[in-house]
Amino acid sequence: MKRLGTDRYAKNKWKSGLVAFAADREATGRAWTPGDQTNEVQLTEADAEVAAALHLSLGAPVYERARLVKEAGVPTHTLTSYYRPEDVKGTSLVDPTPGPAGQGGGFAILTARGLEPDTITETVHARMPTPGETELLQLPAGEPVMILYRTTSTKEGRPVEFARGVHAASRFTWSYTFKIPD
């Protein structure tokens, strides 16, 4: 799977109804169905990383939306997003129905609530998987995982989502294209 980097988040994609993981698949020439993504949603307490990313107090309530994404029945990665309750309560972002959270996914929902995503910071690193990750992602012995941390903010700098992903390293290519700053 080719992960499109910055292009996967293009506003024209999610504003026209395409979610990021579907954009990756389409760019790779692969099909997807809403059943390729599971959802588990719960109201929980912000741990230190979530609290720092969303500018909240440790233990503040947050919605956690955990997904397992598969391709042709094989798990490719997990992605768990965290949101302030006041930003997403009553939306499809807190609905556990499998698949994306509606047309355009979470970014379209946030935009409809006046919280349009404008800036994303991603940090990626590799490590060996935990035993639970090895089982969940059906990894062969010795395969590392790529860890993704993503913070999404509005134009005003207000963070509206923090996400942690665990990706099977052999199942992804990461590709970024961007304008070089002055």
As a whole number of angstroms, the distance between CA 2 and CA 21 comes to 10
Could you tell me if residue 182 is inside a domain? Answer: no
As a whole number of angstroms, the distance between CA 149 and CA 78 comes to 12
The answer to whether the CB of 95 falls within 8 A of the CB of 41 is yes
Could you tell me if residue 127 is inside a domain? Answer: yes
Q: What is the CA radius of gyration of the chain?
A: 16
DSSP code of residue 125: E
pLDDT at 171: 84
What is the residue-wise DSSP string for 59-111? T-EEEEEEEEEEETTEEEEEEEEEE-HHHHTTSGGG---SS-SSTTHHHHHHH
Residue 53 burial by Cβ neighbours in a 10 Å radius (0-12, 13-18, 19+)? buried
Please choose, from the candidates 68, 69, 65, the residue with its C-alpha nearest in 3D space to the C-alpha of residue 42: 65
Could you tell me if residue 133 is inside a domain? Answer: yes
Could you tell me if residue 179 is inside a domain? Answer: no
Query: CB neighbours (10 Å) of residue 65?
Result: 23
pLDDT at 164: 97
pLDDT at 120: 87
The answer to whether the CB of 101 falls within 8 A of the CB of 92 is yes
Cα dihedral 106, 107, 109, 115 sign: positive
Q: Supply the range of the domain harboring residue 54.
A: 2-174
- Per-residue pLDDT of the chain (182 residues), as tens digits, is 555 455 555 655 555 554 555 555 565 666 666 667 788 999 999 999 999 999 999 999 999 999 998 888 889 899 999 999 999 999 988 988 776 777 767 888 898 899 998 888 889 999 999 999 999 999 999 999 999 998 999 999 999 999 999 999 988 777 776 666 66
Identity of the residue numbered 99: G
Q: What is the pTM of this model?
A: 0.81
**Domain CATH number, residue 115:** 3.40.1410.10
Number of domain units in the chain: 1
Could you tell me if residue 24 is inside a domain? Answer: yes
Could you tell me if residue 180 is inside a domain? Answer: no
Could you tell me if residue 181 is inside a domain? Answer: no
pLDDT at 110: 92
The set of residues, in sequence order, having a beta carbon less than 8 Å from that of 134 and lying 6+ positions away, is none
Could you tell me if residue 57 is inside a domain? Answer: yes
Tell how many helices (H) and how many strands (E) occur in the chain: 6, 8
